[in-house]
Chain A
Amino acid sequence: MTLELWNVGLVTILVLLGVGFYGLLISRNLIKMVVALQILAKGAILAMVLAAKLQGWTVIGQSMALTVIVADTIVAVIAMAMAVQIRRHCGTLDVQSLSNLRR
């Protein structure tokens, strides 16, 4: 395997997605879950940019990446706002001790 752009990109994307999902599955702290979601989003953004680069439409890839960054930031902000409210009204950020609703 030669060290080409798309190889490096592909490995980075897979690592980012792997780390993100692993973090989402094992972390019990809400803030860490939001961080894991952001890592996942970065993997997806890199995938978009790489896909556009491979097709030779770099500009489109970058504009899509910007749009995704905006959308994901809003999600992160709302998640953080909810985490603040949860800390205030439940006294904890631990998702395990949060699950009171019946399955």
Chain B
Amino acid sequence: MQNWLWMIGLPIVAAPIIYVVGRTFRPGDGTKAGINPAMWVALLSLLATGFFTYQAWTAYIADATLETSIGMVALRADGISFLMATAILVLGSMATLYSGPYLAADEGQEKFYALLTAMIGMMIGLSCARDLFNLWIWFEGMAIASFPLVAFYRRNPAGLEAGIKYLVQSAAGSILVLVAIALVYSETGSLAYDGIVAASGRSLPMLAAGALFIVGFGVKVAMVPLHTWLPDAHSQAPSPISAMLSGVVIEAGLIALIRSLGVLQSVSNNWGVILLGFGALNMLVGNLLALRQTQVKRLLAFSSLAHIGYILLGIGVAASSYYFDDLNTGFFAGSGSFFHILTHALMKGLAFLAAGCLLYSLYISRGSHEPLTKNDLAGAARRYPLEAFGLSVAVLALGGLPPLAGFMSKWQIFVGSFMSGNPWIIGLVIFAAFNSVLSLGYYAPLVNLMYRHEPGEVVLAGKPTPWLMILPVCLLALAVVVLGFWPSLVQPLTDVAGFSLLQLFGFVR
């Protein structure tokens, strides 16, 4: 087994060990006692995975080809894989650390950590897959691990409802993907990306396969008419899982989508245009629906829809490079999108974790599963200064306020798309900028409520937040601020990812 494969294999190997460790743990006095040691094992395995990923990265930028096949399973790490692995591992380890105190009073923690670690491994594997069936397996594995995590509160009817809704829609989507793979296979006789590109041409079954890929993976990406599971699942899951779902899982679905569309590059030139259309729809619908939400986590879930829209804008421009004079536009917009995937993972993770701190202190620690509403936030900064600061940084960055990370990545997408000089795309950029302003209409009131209102009864009756939950919030807030001032810190990552995107769609060799 080659060394770099540990960045995929380690979390998957660690998952059963984590389960066993968590299972054998018996709290001393038989009461509900504290943090399950499975959390520390999971965190350790994620850090070790991060070490292997870093080693693979140094080999990759020294021009090594990281490619392996085990039997029929072909894997290759490229720029997109490393960008996704970074986002997944950073957010994943923060969410794991945070889950310790958050779930301390719940049963079934060993399953939680094992599934979370397995899901992380599956997502990294998905971003390295080199053939379509392999891609589907990782995708399905990720989905399977996430179903029980969404319905983790199995005595809470709302959580169960969200879980089953997510499961049914997701399973139907993945079956459409399977039919699309069968179509591609029957047309080209190959499942490997390169083989399909070489053998495919414009034909009706291939176009149908592309449409099925868009619909099937679109369920997981939450492209707009297929988004109905997202707000329920994201608002009902435990907060660290909401952060993971919103920050990396839907983006992993997006990676699967662009990989499969890139394979069909010789079938049509217009996949990018379709992505642009969905992007515009996602921005508008996400922002408008978020405006009328009263629950904080539901509001953040709808804002994920809008952010998927921004990411689709950049990727759509990169995939439409057929229509531009040079590749700079596509490269700049594409790497901007990957930068936004990274910053969105940090910002949305921070937002859900900080909101989760307040939810924990105000409701969960008192044994209630009520949702956190906007009005509960009134005056929260008085009693919970760090949590309120984290949430404020997150929502202002999501809204795109200048010195913060969200502004930098959105700016790069907008500037990159603007460079195309195409009037339609310039119109779309202006539309996106208006949407970005519109989004402040629901982000700013949250900050206002926390800082400029008197504390309500709920806040005054709240309990203190454990420090292990505040620590990830502070680290992520620091990352959002630092990336806002020094976006060049992650530029090597986003540049190779943008280059890999152009390679995927066959614009460069």
Chain B residues, CB < 8 A from A78 = 144, 147-148, 167
Q: Are A71 and B182 in touch, CB under 8 angstroms? A: no
User: Per-residue CB proximity of A27-44 to B under 8 Å, as 1/0?
Assistant: 000100100010011011
User: Residue B66 at the A interface, CB < 8 A?
Assistant: no
User: A97 CB to closest chain B CB, in angstroms?
Assistant: 10
Contacts of A19 in B (CB 8 A): none
Known: A47-B182, A78-B148. A101 touches B160 (CB 8 A): no
Q: A residues within 8 A CB of B419?
A: none
> Shortest CB–CB separation between residue B21 and chain A, in angstroms?
23
Task: Name the CB-closest residue of A to B133.
Answer: A64
Closest chain-A Cβ to B145's Cβ sits at a distance in Å of 10
State A24–B298 Cα separation when bound (angstroms): 26
Contact A79 B167 (CB under 8 A): yes
Q: Mark A60-76, 1 if CB is under 8 A from B, else 0.
A: 10011001100110110
Beta-carbon contacts under 8 Å, B173-197 to A: 175, 178-179, 181-183, 185-186, 189
- The reply to whether A40 and B161 form a contact with Cβ atoms under 8 Å apart is no
List A46-103 residues whose CB lies under 8 Å from chain B: 47-48, 50-52, 54-55, 57, 60, 63-64, 67-68, 71-72, 74-75, 78-79, 81-83, 85-86, 89-90, 95, 98-103
**Cβ A47 vs Cβ B179 within 8 A:** yes
Residues on B with C-beta less than 8 A from A54 are: 186
Interface presence of B228 (CB below 8 A): yes
Interface residues of B in 100-144 (CB under 8 A from A): 133, 137, 140-141, 143-144
Contacts of A37 in B (CB 8 A): 168, 171-172, 175
Does residue B155 face the partner (Cβ distance < 8 Å to A)? yes
How far is the CB of B354 from the nearest CB of chain A, in Å? 23
Any chain A CB within 8 A of the CB of B151? yes
The residue from B156, B160, B167, B186 contacting A75, defined by CB atoms under 8 A apart: B167
Q: Is the CB of B172 within 8 A of A55?
A: no
Say yes or no: is B23 at the interface (Cβ < 8 Å to chain A). no
Q: In the complex, which residues 146-171 of chain B have their Cβ closer than 8 Å to any Cβ of chain A?
A: 147-148, 151, 154-158, 160-164, 167-168, 171
| Chain B residue nearest to A67 in the complex (CB) | B137
Given known A48-B181, A100-B157, contact A55–B186 (CB-CB < 8 A): yes
Residues of B within 8 A of A55 (CB): 185-186, 189
A82 touches B151 (CB 8 A): yes
List, in ascending order, chain A residues with CB within 8 A of B236's CB. 101
Task: Jot down 27 A-B pairs with beta carbons below 8 A, ordered by A.
Answer: A20-B175, A40-B172, A40-B175, A41-B175, A43-B175, A44-B182, A47-B182, A50-B186, A51-B183, A52-B185, A55-B186, A55-B189, A63-B72, A71-B144, A75-B140, A75-B143, A81-B148, A82-B151, A82-B164, A83-B164, A85-B154, A85-B160, A86-B164, A89-B156, A89-B160, A98-B157, A101-B232
Q: Please report B residues at the A interface, Cβ cutoff 8 Å.
A: 72, 133, 137, 140-141, 143-144, 147-148, 151, 154-158, 160-164, 167-168, 171-172, 175, 178-179, 181-183, 185-186, 189, 228, 231-232, 235-236, 298
